[in-house]
Amino acid sequence: MTVPVYNEEHVLGTSIERLHAYLDAEFPFDWSIVVVDNASTDRTLEVAHDLAGRLDRVRVLHLDEKGRGRALRAAWAASDADVVCYVDVDLSTGLTGLLPLVAPLVSGHSDLAVGSRLSSGSAVARGPKREIISRCYNLLLRGVFAVRFRDAQCGFKAARRDVVQRLLPAVDDEAWFFDTELLLLAEHNGLRVHEVPVDWVDDPDSRVDIRSTALGDLRGVRRMVWRFLRGRGWVDLGGLEREPLRDDFGRQTVTFALIGAVSTVAALGLFLVLRDRLGPIPANVVGFTVASVLNFWANRRFTFRRRDAAGRWWHVSGSLALYVLSLALASVGLALAGGRLGTEVAVLVVTWGIVAIVRFALLRSWVYRR
Catalytic residues: 179
Question: How far apart are alpha carbons 337 and 349 in whole angstroms?
Answer: 13
- Give alpha helix (H) positions in 193-340: 210-229, 249-278, 280-298, 312-335
Q: How far is CA 343 from CA 5, 141, 142, 334, in A?
A: 67, 41, 39, 8
Give the SS3 label for residue 73. helix
Q: Which residues pair with 195 in a beta bridge?
A: 114
Give the SS3 label for residue 340. coil
CB 125 within 8 A of CB 202: yes
Question: How far apart are alpha carbons 200 and 233 in whole angstroms?
Answer: 32
Give the SS3 label for residue 115. strand
DSSP 275-288: HHHH-HHHHHHHHH
| CA nearest neighbour of 2 among 56, 81, 55 | 81
The sheet carrying 112-116 orders its strands as: 58-63, 33-38, 2-5, 83-87, 156-160, 112-116, 193-197
Q: Which residues pair with 59 in a beta bridge?
A: 34
Q: What burial letters (b/e) apply to 317-338, b meaning 16+ CB within 10 Å?
A: ebbeebbeebbebbbebbeebe
Q: What burial letters (b/e) apply to 139-151, b meaning 16+ CB within 10 Å?
A: eebeeebebebbb
DSSP strand pairing (112-116 vs 156-160): antiparallel
201: left (phi over 0), alpha (psi -120 to 50) or beta: beta
CB 101 within 8 A of CB 196: yes
CB 38 within 8 A of CB 67: yes
Question: How far apart are alpha carbons 252 and 247 in whole angstroms?
Answer: 9
